[in-house]
A and B are shown apart, each in its own frame.
Chain A
Amino acid sequence: NAGVTQTPKFRVLKTGQSMTLLCAQDMNHEYMYWYRQDPGMGLRLIHYSVGEGTTAKGEVPDGYNVSRLKKQNFLLGLESAAPSQTSVYFCASSSGLVYGYTFGSGTRLTVV
Chain B
Amino acid sequence: AQSVTQLGSHVSVSEGALVLLRCNYSSSVPPYLFWYVQYPNQGLQLLLKYTTGATLVKGINGFEAEFKKSETSFHLTKPSAHMSDAAEYFCAVREGDYKLSFGAGTTVTVRA
Contact = CB atoms under 8 A, between A and B. Distances in A.
Interface stretch (A13-21, A63-71, A72-80, A94-102): A94-102
Contact of A97 (B44, B45, B97, B103): B97
B90 to A, nearest CB: 7
Nearest to A99: B49
A33 B90 contact: no
Given A40-B104, A43-B90, A97-B32, A103 B44 contact: yes
A97 B98 contact: yes
Given A40-B9, A97-B94, A100-B34, A48 B103 contact: no
B104 A41 contact: yes
Contacts of A61: none
Contacts, number: 53
A54 B41 CA distance: 30
Contacts of B49: 100
Given A43-B102, A103-B43, A98 B32 contact: yes
A91 to B, nearest CB: 9
A75 to B, nearest CB: 18
Contacts of B41: 106
Interface residues of B, number: 23
A23 to B, nearest CB: 11
Nearest to B103: A42
Given A42-B105, A90-B44, A106-B43, A101 B9 contact: no
Interface string B47-68: 0010100000000000000000
Contacts of B104: 40-42
Given A97-B100, A98-B51, A104-B43, 6 more contacts: A40-B105, A42-B104, A43-B44, A48-B99, A100-B32, A106-B43
19 contacts: A31-B98, A40-B105, A41-B104, A42-B105, A50-B98, A92-B44, A98-B32, A100-B32, A100-B46, A100-B49, A101-B44, A102-B46, A103-B36, A103-B43, A103-B45, A105-B42, A106-B41, A106-B42, A106-B43
